[in-house]
Amino acid sequence: MTEFFKDLNRLSYDPDSTDLAFRHYNPDEVVAGKRMEDHLRFAVAYWHSFAWPGGDPFGGPTFDRPWFDESMQSARLKADVAFEMFDLLNVPFFCWHDADIRPEGDTFAESLRNFQEMVDYLGTKMEASKTKLLWGTANLFSHRRFMAGAATNPDPEIFAWSAATVKNCMDATHKLGGQNYVLWGGREGYETLLNTDLRRERQQAGRFLQMAVEYKHKIGFKGAILVEPKPQEPSKHQYDYDVATVYGFLKEFGLEGEVQMNIEQGHAILAGHSFEHELALAASLGILGSIDMNRNDYQSGWDTDQFPNNVPEVALAYYEVLKAGGFTTGGTNFDAKLRRQSLDPVDLIAGHAGAMDVCARGLKAAAAMLEDGTLEAMRAERYAGWDSAEGKALLDSDFATIAAQVESGGTPPEPRSGRQEILENIVNRFV
Ligand code: XLS
Ligand code: NI
Ligand code: NI
C-alpha cells in the first residue's frame, strides 16, 4: 500500500451508510436479468484521475501528487496508486492514453521504451487485480507537435509519427487484453480555412482510420475500434462533430461495418444534442459501442468533464443502452475530473463513488421503465398505422400512385396528440 490512500477503506454496498459507501451500486444485484456490474461495466480514466494536475486557463496546477515528475519511478508509483483506487472502488475496468502512463522521452524510440516498460508493469498489476482494460488510446493532441492535428496535419511527418504511435498503442491494448481501442479526434479539425485544405485533411483522416482497421485485423485484435465524436474544443471545427457526421464519414471511407462509437455525454451537449439522442441514433445505425459518462456544465459551452449527478438524465441514457441490448465490449467510462479545488485523495474516491451510485439509480430506473412497458407501448401505438397493410404498401409505392389514392379519398386525416406531457409524467414515476 502506498501512502496516498492509506486512510481509506474499500467501499462496500451499504444503503443506509452516511459515510463513504455505495448506497445504490450493488455489483451483484440482478437488474433486468444481469448483474449490475455486468450492465454498467464501470471504468476509471487514468488521465483525469492521475495525470491531470488541476490547471485552468488562468492558473497552474492545484494538485500536489507525489508522482508528478517525468520519471519512470513516478510512473510506477502512479500505477500503484491507480490500482489501489481501482481496488477501493471495486471497478472492473480502466482506460489510458499512452501519455498518461509513461514519461515522454527525447526521441520516439525512448518514449516507446518507456511505454512498453509501463505496459508490462500494468500487465503485472492487472494479474493481481480484478480490473481489466476497457480501452486504450493515443494522446495525439497535447504535445506541441500535434498543434495542427495528427492524421490531418499539413506535415506528413506528423501523420507518420501519429500512425506509429497508434500502432504501438494498439499493440499494447491487444497485449493487455483491452476490449476496445478508441480514437478521439483531438485536434483533427481546424482553426481557420485561410490556412486549411479541408478536402485533403478529411482524406488523410479517412486513410488513417482505414489503416487502424487494417492493423486491427493484421494483429488479430478482437475488440472494437471506437471513434469518439466531439464538435469543438480544442479545434474550432472538428471533423468528427457528432454521431451523424461520423457515420457519414465512415460510409465515405467504407468503414461503417468496422467502427463503432464511443459517445460522451458532454460532447453530445456541445454538439447541441441530448446524450440520449446521440445514443439512440448510434443504436439505430448499429454503431453504439461504449460511453464516456461525464457531464458538462450547461452554461459554460466548454467540456468541463464533471462526474454525472443527474439521475433523470442518466436514466434516459441507460434506457437507450438497455433498449439497444446493453453493452457488449463497451462500458461506462468516467472521463471525468475533479474540480480543481478538490485536492484530497478522498475527493477522488467520493467523485467516483457518487457517480457510480448515480449510474446505478439511472440503470434501475431505466430497467423499471422498460419492464413497465408503457413508454414502448405508447410509442408503438403512435406508429401503428405503419404496421397496417396500407402503411406497409406505402413505402413500396410511388408519388403518382399515392396521389391518385389521396385525390380520390374521403375525409382528411385527423392529427393525434403526441402526448409528450403524459410521457414525461410516466418517466417521472421512475426517476
Ligand atoms: C476529450 C475526450 C478524451 C477522449 C480520449 O474531450 O473526451 O478524453 O475520451 O482521448
Ligand atoms: Ni471529452
Ligand atoms: Ni472522452
Instruction: Provide the b/e sequence for 136-157 (b: ≥16 CB within 10 Å).
Output: bbbbbbbeeebebbbbbbeeee
What is the grid cell recorded at 79?
Answer: 500505477
Q: Do 424 and 430 form a contact (C-beta atoms < 8 A)?
A: no
User: What pLDDT, on a 0 to 100 scale, did the predictor assign at position 301?
Assistant: 83
User: What pLDDT, on a 0 to 100 scale, did the predictor assign at position 47?
Assistant: 98
Q: Do 50 and 76 form a contact (C-beta atoms < 8 A)?
A: no
CB of 83 shorter than 6 A to ligand 1: no
Query: From the alpha carbon of 292, which atom of ligand 1 is closest?
Result: 9
Query: From the alpha carbon of 333, which atom of ligand 1 is closest?
Result: 9
Q: What CA–CA distance (Å, rounded) separates 201 from 122?
A: 35
User: What pLDDT, on a 0 to 100 scale, did the predictor assign at position 409?
Assistant: 86
Low-confidence stretches of the chain (pLDDT beneath 70): none
User: What pLDDT, on a 0 to 100 scale, did the predictor assign at position 263?
Assistant: 98
CB of 228 shorter than 6 A to ligand 1: yes
- In this structure, which amino acid lies at residue 76? R
Query: From the alpha carbon of 230, which atom of ligand 1 is closest?
Result: 6
Query: From the alpha carbon of 184, which atom of ligand 1 is closest?
Result: 10
> Which ligand is in closest contact with the Cα of 184?
1
Dist. CA 415 → ligand 3 center (Å): 42
User: What pLDDT, on a 0 to 100 scale, did the predictor assign at position 194?
Assistant: 98
Ordered domains of the chain (ranges, CATH): 30-372 (3.20.20.150), 388-428 (no CATH)
Residue where the block lists cell 446493453: 326
Dist. CA 267 → ligand 3 center (Å): 8
Q: What CA–CA distance (Å, rounded) separates 21 from 349?
A: 10
How many helices (H) and strands (E) the chain has is answered by: 16, 12
Burial of 266 (0-12, 13-18, 19+ CB in 10 A): buried
The DSSP 8-state label assigned to residue 256 in this structure reads T
What is the grid cell recorded at 328?
Answer: 457488449
Rounded alpha-carbon distances, angstroms, from residue 175 to 119, 123, 142, 223, 299: 9, 8, 25, 12, 42
CB of 187 shorter than 6 A to ligand 1: no
Dist. CA 305 → ligand 1 center (Å): 9
Interstrand relation of 93-97 and 30-31 (parallel, antiparallel or unpaired):
unpaired
Q: What spatial distance separates the first Cα and last Cα of the chain, rounded to whole Å?
A: 39
